Every structure is written in C-alpha cells, then in structure tokens.
Amino acid sequence: MTSPPPGTRRRAPAGAAVLREDVTDAIRAAVFEELATVGFARMSIEGIARRAGVGKTAVYRRWKSKLSLVLDLLTVFAAQGLPAPATGSLHGDVRALLEVAAHALRHPVASQVIPDLLVEAARQPEIADTIKATLLDSQQGVAALVVRDAVARGELPAATDPGRALDLIIGPLYWRLVVVRTPLPKGYLDDLATAAVAALKS
C-alpha cells in the first residue's frame, strides 16, 4: 500500500462521527450536576442527556455507561491537579496547600459529589481504583514536593514520609468540611498549618 503524497490531508472515513468538544464539555458538566443532585446510584444517562441538552446518542457515542462517564470525569478533574506551592518555607507551603484544598472542598458541587463517590468506591472497585490513581496519587505527589523542598531547606528530616504529611495536612480539613460539615472559624487555616508543621517536625 502506497502512502499518500506529502501535504495530502487524511480524510475521516465516510460516516465517522465527529465529536464536538463543546458537547463533550456540556455532558461532563451535566454529570457533575447530576451527581450532586441525585447521586451516583440514581443518576441515569437519560437525566444527564436532558440536563446537557443533548440526545442520549451523543452520550453513548462518548461513553458506554454512567460508570465510564464518572471515571472519565475523575480523570479529567485530577488532570487539573493541585498546584505545588513554592513559598520558600514549610509553613507557607502547608498554608497555601490548605487554602487551595479548602476552596475545592467548599465548592457546593464537590461537597456533594466527593462523599457519594467514596460510598460508591466501597461497592465498585473501578471507582476505588480510579480515585486512588487520579486523586490520591496526585495529591501525594504534591505532598512529596512540599516535603522534598522542606528537607532541602533543613526544615524536615530526610526520612519524613510524604504520605503521613498529606494525612496531617489535609485530613483534619477534610473531616471538618466534608464529614462534619461545619464552617471554618476565622484563623482556622493558619492554626491548622501551624499544628501540621509542628506535627511533621516532631
């Protein structure tokens, strides 16, 4: 088989579906809203399509099931990632990380979606594996950078465990905002950053 002449544009096969990016984005946004409104168990392709203003066929062209939809959503969300802080001090990095995490966890949609997906993760291994691979692993990567920089500055011992650091930094905040669901008092993030740094240095 001969290759096409240089400069010749390949044509899509006749009848091939062209997936519009704006439609894909609308469907992903609809999934987020459906998860927050009805939860994973009651979420349906019909409801997603109706909320996105598209037909069911548009959804099924992109994803074969609501599970694959949610897994894709998690992957896209995690790809945005948490920015690695670089303030020049351990306390500053921890405080900056807490600020970003608090903003994300206080988002009205995220505050509904995250707990529901964690419940579903206990029932569906695919969701549990994706949460670990996309959300947890990326957060641990950020914590590892914070620890690495603090070790280089002499603020933490070389044996500091990034996983433990992440638990100490984000764990109390997650408990307060997602589990207990109480507002953060003034100065809470500053106090939490100070406590986390003290615990990491002990």
| Comparison of pLDDT for 92 and 202, the residue scoring more | 92
What dotted CATH number matches 21-65?
A: 1.10.10.60
DSSP assignment letter at 184: P
Q: pLDDT-based confidence at 79, cuts 50/70/90?
A: low
- Where do the structural domains in the chain lie, given as residue ranges? 21-65, 81-201
Side-chain half-sphere of 49: how many Cα atoms within 13 Å? 15
pLDDT one-digit tens code per residue, 120-165: 788 888 878 877 776 677 788 889 999 999 999 999 999 999 999 9
Architecture of domain 81-201 in CATH?
Answer: Orthogonal Bundle (1.10)
pLDDT one-digit tens code per residue, 20-69: 888 998 998 898 888 878 888 888 999 999 999 999 999 999 988 888 88
146 Cα distance to chain centroid: 19
pLDDT one-digit tens code per residue, 80-122: 656 778 899 999 999 999 998 888 778 766 666 777 777 778 8
CB contact at 8 A, 73 and 59: no
DSSP 127-173: HHHHIIIIIIHHHHHHHHHHHHHHHHTTSS-TT--HHHHHHHHHHHH
